[in-house]
């Protein structure tokens, strides 16, 4: 009687184990083998999978204890071996499942995921083998000798299978029913009803941005980046310090967008906001009565280029720039719209377990191209804005496309491998982030470039150091050609031809003598023109100095003046835009720009040759030290002074990008001699 009760207990445990195991098999294998399953159903299956795994673990271990205790004395070697293998693989299955439930399925946990899949297939296979061998090795009179016994065996299979299928159906139905519906954002409905279509039928013109639906979007579809940072902590910390995050609360942008609104109305700010604050543009804020991204205290101003501003781009509509892309809101995950702690907990759990949809929608292949960056880092102005005509502005994409970095395996260049914008501006760096690779690295979301002023203004020392280091990576070089001693080369003595062919001329300068010093400035590593970006604001120049042996200054060119401006005679790399009257457009009020009166940049792989005339005085002492430094600052002084009148910007740092110096001996000019 006691053995009979024990057998009933074991059979009952077996039913529970079978039911949980079947639920795990169905929810696991269906989502793994069926990519076309509806996303919400797939996510519901993942939660049911965890619940079933949590229920399976205690039942399995208790059943294994009871089963092993009862069958320990059986002398069926193969059956025992198969049973031990099943036990080991299910333990591995439970262990890896528990780890994945905690960490999520990402690159760093891919080994656990692989073991989990292998353990699932192996456990199912050996479980079937174990049961089948048990039946065929059992005395026939105990198995199929009567219809009653056959029905009993069938019920042991059908009952848990039925419970499992019904449990999945009911569980999925409940999860989908309690999933909160998206909340409609009606806060801007009055603005949309009276929206000003000042630039045509497209509500986002003169920006070229589009949406997948052709209409405005809800603010939740593009804002609320803190929701992303709850999982992506490492990337979030980088983004919070980046120029992308500060694209709207940058003091210089605030000054300019306010000037544009004052001059042409808030509808005109759509031209800028497609790249600086897409959330303001796409939600329909940029119409009379609304607010642009430059307004302090608004979510658009605080987030600038939010996470979804970039990751919501799913298609490029052209290469013209000015936000030439299409935005698509991502598909909501299960329980994403719920406010309660439990809802958010389940939402994050689903997102960790089923990130495939998240990756597919937010990391499309187009985001790995330079053309993706060019949607905003390319710019033009047309008649709708300047009341004149089409004019080209910054175009880092075209400069890159024409560079050596877009010409793979070209033997003429020292960098034959192709490099995109992301390779330089988003290098792999270490970060504590769920999306990090096996080495613990992510693509940098500091988006390091040349804006040292912004990093200094917002007090981010790490970004400032990275930006300074980025500018000083030998991407630009200066070489001073040593002045040849032409006088010393004139000699009445015989010199053999083989010595003359070496042409290793002596180097020297002479007092009371004038010499041209040649300087080579090479863009050897920048993937586009130097300088790039807003070259009407950027200012790069050469500081050239010559000292004698007592450190007395002989020549200086390119020094900063007392008012902060650069020496008027300096070699400067920048652009001077002009309006229709030929006056300089120096406040970055590009809606007045119709052309340019001056532009000086160095294309990628090119060299600028500069000559300085050096008059060596008779009081100079030997040796002569010649130095040249390539300097850079984000804003020219005139523009900087205009900005700080209304905006508290802290500093406009000057960075030494490259330098070179040589020491040349100084000699007396020899007296003139006649050749006999």
- Cα–Cα distance for residue pair 22/292, rounded to 1 Å: 55
pTM tops 0.95: no
- Are 127 and 216 members of one domain? no
Tokens 């001996």 belong to residue: 665
Q: What is the pLDDT of residues 220-269, one digit of tens each?
A: 899 989 989 988 999 999 999 999 999 999 999 999 999 999 999 999 99
Q: Quick one: tokens of 369?
A: 């191209």
Q: What is the pLDDT of residues 192-211, one digit of tens each?
A: 999 999 999 999 999 999 99
**Closest alpha carbon to 534 in 581, 466, 605, 593:** 593
Sequence-distant (6+) residues with CB within 8 A of 586 are 536, 576, 577, 636, 638, 639, 642
Q: What is the pLDDT of residues 329-383, one digit of tens each?
A: 988 898 888 888 888 889 888 988 888 888 889 999 999 999 999 999 999 999 9
Banded pLDDT at 598 (limits 50, 70, 90):
very high
Compute the 3-state secondary structure of the chain and give helix, strand, coil in percent, each to the nearest 5.
45, 15, 40
**Bridge partners for 576 per DSSP:** 598
- Are 106 and 232 members of one domain? no
Comparison of pLDDT for 185 and 378, the residue scoring more: 378
What is the separation of C-alpha 629 from the centre of its chain, rounded to a whole number of angstroms? 32
Is pLDDT at 147 greater than 80 in this prediction?
no
- Are 161 and 291 members of one domain? no
Please state, in angstroms and as integers, the Cα–Cα distance from residue 418 to each residue in 234, 411, 414, 446, 606, following that order. 28, 13, 11, 22, 17
Comparison of pLDDT for 69 and 559, the residue scoring more: 559
Sequence-distant (6+) residues with CB within 8 A of 123 are 86, 89, 90, 92, 93
- Is residue 460 situated within a structural domain? no
- Are 229 and 309 members of one domain? yes
Q: Which one of 356, 372, 388 terminates a domain?
A: 388
Q: Which of 23-37, 335-349, 365-379, 392-406 has the lowest mean pLDDT?
A: 23-37
Q: Do 194 and 290 contact (CB within 8 A), yes or no?
A: no
- Are 211 and 159 members of one domain? no
- Cα–Cα distance for residue pair 306/278, rounded to 1 Å: 8
- Are 149 and 233 members of one domain? no
- Is residue 37 situated within a structural domain? yes
- Are 124 and 251 members of one domain? no
Q: What is the pLDDT of residue 141?
A: 45
Q: What is the pLDDT of residues 503-528, one digit of tens each?
A: 556 788 999 889 999 999 999 999 99
Q: Which of 18-22, 455-459, 484-488, 607-611 has the lowest mean pLDDT?
A: 484-488
Q: What angle do CA 295, 301, 302 make, to 5 degrees?
A: 135
Sequence-distant (6+) residues with CB within 8 A of 589 are 256, 259, 260, 263
- Are 136 and 215 members of one domain? no
Please state, in angstroms and as integers, the Cα–Cα distance from residue 33 to each residue in 30, 117, 147, following that order. 5, 12, 37
CATH number of the domain residue 619 falls in: 2.60.40.10
Sequence-distant (6+) residues with CB within 8 A of 632 are 450, 471, 531, 538, 539, 540, 654, 655, 657
- Are 156 and 207 members of one domain? no
Q: Quick one: tokens of 197?
A: 């279509």
Q: Which one of 388, 417, 445 terminates a domain?
A: 388
Please state, in angstroms and as integers, the Cα–Cα distance from residue 472 to each residue in 218, 272, 468, following that order. 43, 30, 6
Q: What is the pLDDT of residue 151?
A: 43
Q: What is the pLDDT of residues 267-310, one digit of tens each?
A: 999 999 999 999 999 999 999 999 999 999 999 999 999 999 99
Question: Mean pLDDT over residues 523-536, rounded?
Answer: 93
- Cα–Cα distance for residue pair 466/25, rounded to 1 Å: 49
- Is residue 103 situated within a structural domain? yes
Banded pLDDT at 39 (limits 50, 70, 90):
confident
H-assigned helices in 420-555: 421-425, 452-457, 461-471, 497-500
33-47, 339-353, 408-422, 623-637 — which one is most confidently predicted on average?
A: 623-637
Is pLDDT at 499 greater than 80 in this prediction?
no
Q: Do 237 and 442 contact (CB within 8 A), yes or no?
A: no
Please report, in angstroms and rounded to a whole number, the separation of the first and last CA atoms in the chain: 137
Q: Do 442 and 428 contact (CB within 8 A), yes or no?
A: yes
Q: Which of 72-86, 166-180, 216-230, 560-574 has the lowest mean pLDDT?
A: 72-86
Q: Which of 101-105, 156-160, 394-398, 517-521 has the lowest mean pLDDT?
A: 156-160
- Cα–Cα distance for residue pair 403/384, rounded to 1 Å: 32
- Are 510 and 559 members of one domain? yes
Q: What is the pLDDT of residues 409-419, one digit of tens each?
A: 555 555 556 78
- Is residue 631 situated within a structural domain? yes
- Is residue 161 situated within a structural domain? yes
Is pLDDT at 616 greater than 50 in this prediction?
yes
- Cα–Cα distance for residue pair 288/264, rounded to 1 Å: 12
3-state secondary structure (DSSP) of residue 298: coil
Q: Do 305 and 278 contact (CB within 8 A), yes or no?
A: yes
**Closest alpha carbon to 62 in 17, 126, 98, 20:** 17
- Cα–Cα distance for residue pair 459/246, rounded to 1 Å: 12
- Is residue 80 situated within a structural domain? yes
Question: Mean pLDDT over residues 422-444, rounded?
Answer: 92
- Are 66 and 32 members of one domain? yes
Question: Mean pLDDT over residues 434-448, rounded?
Answer: 92
**Closest alpha carbon to 244 in 293, 207, 284, 210:** 293
- Is residue 468 situated within a structural domain? no
Question: Mean pLDDT over residues 518-539, rounded?
Answer: 94
- Is residue 675 situated within a structural domain? no
- Cα–Cα distance for residue pair 543/562, rounded to 1 Å: 15
Q: What is the pLDDT of residue 489?
A: 55
- Cα–Cα distance for residue pair 290/265, rounded to 1 Å: 11
- Are 17 and 161 members of one domain? yes
How much is the mean pLDDT over the chain? 87
Domain that residue 319 falls in: 195-388
Q: How many domains does the chain have?
A: 3
Percentage of the chain modeled with pLDDT above 90: 55
Q: Which one of 119, 147, 178 terminates a domain?
A: 178
Phi–psi pair at 446, nearest 5 degrees: -75, -25
Phi–psi pair at 313, nearest 5 degrees: -75, 115
Q: What is the pLDDT of residue 183?
A: 76
Banded pLDDT at 146 (limits 50, 70, 90):
very low
């Amino acid at each position: 009687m006691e053995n009979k009760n024990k057998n009933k207990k074991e059979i009952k445990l077996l039913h529970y184990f079978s039911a949980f195991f079947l639920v795990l098999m169905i929810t696991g294998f269906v989502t793994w083998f069926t990519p076309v399953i509806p996303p919400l159903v797939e996510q519901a299956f993942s939660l049911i999978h965890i619940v079933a795994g949590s229920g399976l673990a205690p039942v399995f271990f208790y059943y294994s204890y009871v089963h092993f205790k009862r069958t320990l004395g059986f002398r069926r070697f193969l059956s025992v071996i198969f049973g031990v293998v099943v036990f080991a693989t299910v333990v591995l299955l439970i262990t890896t499942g528990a780890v994945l439930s905690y960490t999520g399925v990402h690159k760093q946990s891919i080994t656990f995921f692989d073991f989990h899949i292998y353990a699932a297939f192996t456990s199912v296979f050996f479980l079937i083998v174990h049961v089948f061998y048990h039946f065929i090795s059992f005395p026939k009179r105990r198995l199929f000798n009567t219809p009653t016994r056959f029905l009993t065996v069938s019920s042991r299979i059908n009952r848990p299978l039925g419970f499992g299928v019904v449990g999945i159906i009911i569980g999925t139905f409940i999860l989908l029913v309690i999933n909160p519906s998206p909340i409609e954002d009606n806060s801007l409905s009055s603005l949309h009803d009276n929206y000003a279509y000042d630039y045509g039928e497209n509500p986002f013109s003169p920006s070229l941005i589009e949406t997948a639906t052709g209409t405005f979007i809800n603010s939740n579809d593009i804002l609320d980046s803190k929701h992303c940072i709850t999982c992506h902590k490492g990337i979030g910390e980088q983004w919070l310090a980046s120029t992308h995050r500060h694209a709207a609360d940058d003091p210089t942008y605030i000054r300019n967008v306010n000037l544009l609104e004052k001059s042409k109305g808030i509808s005109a700010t759509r031209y800028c906001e497609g790249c600086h604050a897409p959330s303001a543009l796409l939600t329909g804020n940029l119409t009379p009565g609304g607010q642009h991204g430059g307004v302090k205290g608004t979510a658009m101003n605080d987030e600038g280029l939010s996470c979804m501003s970039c990751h919501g781009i799913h298609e490029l509509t052209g290469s013209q720039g000015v936000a030439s892309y299409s935005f698509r809101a991502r598909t909501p995950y299960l329980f994403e719209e719920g406010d309660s702690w439990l809802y958010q907990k389940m939402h994050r759990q689903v997102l960790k377990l089923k990130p495939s949809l998240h990756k597919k929608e937010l990391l499309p292949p187009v985001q790995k191209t330079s053309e993706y960056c060019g949607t905003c880092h390319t710019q033009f102005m047309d008649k709708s804005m300047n009341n004149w005509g089409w004019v080209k502005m910054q175009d880092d994409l075209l400069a890159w496309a024409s560079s050596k970095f877009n010409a793979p395996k070209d033997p003429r260049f020292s960098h034959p491998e192709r490099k995109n914008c992301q390779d330089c501006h988003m290098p792999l760096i270490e970060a504590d982030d769920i999306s990090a690779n096996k080495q613990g690295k992510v693509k940098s979301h500091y988006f390091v470039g040349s804006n040292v002023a912004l990093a200094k203004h917002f007090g981010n020392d790490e970004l400032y150091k990275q930006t300074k280091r980025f500018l000083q990576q030998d991407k630009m070089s200066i070489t001073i050609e040593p002045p040849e001693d032409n006088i010393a080369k004139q000699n009445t003595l015989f010199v053999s031809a083989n010595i003359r062919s070496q042409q290793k001329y002596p180097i020297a300068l002479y007092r009371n003598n004038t010499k041209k010093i040649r300087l080579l400035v090479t863009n050897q590593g920048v993937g586009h023109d130097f300088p790039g970006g807003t070259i009407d604001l950027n200012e790069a120049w050469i500081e050239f100095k010559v000292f004698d042996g007592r450190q007395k200054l002989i020549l200086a060119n390119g020094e900063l003046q007392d008012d902060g401006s650069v020496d008027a005679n300096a070699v400067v790399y920048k652009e001077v835009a002009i309006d229709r009257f030929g006056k300089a457009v120096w406040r970055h009020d590009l809606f007045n720009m119709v052309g340019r009166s001056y532009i000086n940049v160095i294309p990628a792989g090119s060299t600028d040759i500069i000559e300085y005339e050096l008059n060596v005085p008779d009081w100079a002492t030997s040796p002569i030290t010649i130095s040249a430094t390539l300097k850079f600052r984000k804003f020219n002084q005139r523009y900087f002074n205009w900005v700080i009148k209304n905006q508290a910007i802290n500093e406009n740092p000057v960075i030494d990008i490259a330098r070179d110096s040589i020491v040349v001996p100084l000699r007396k000019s020899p007296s003139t001699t006649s050749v006999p």
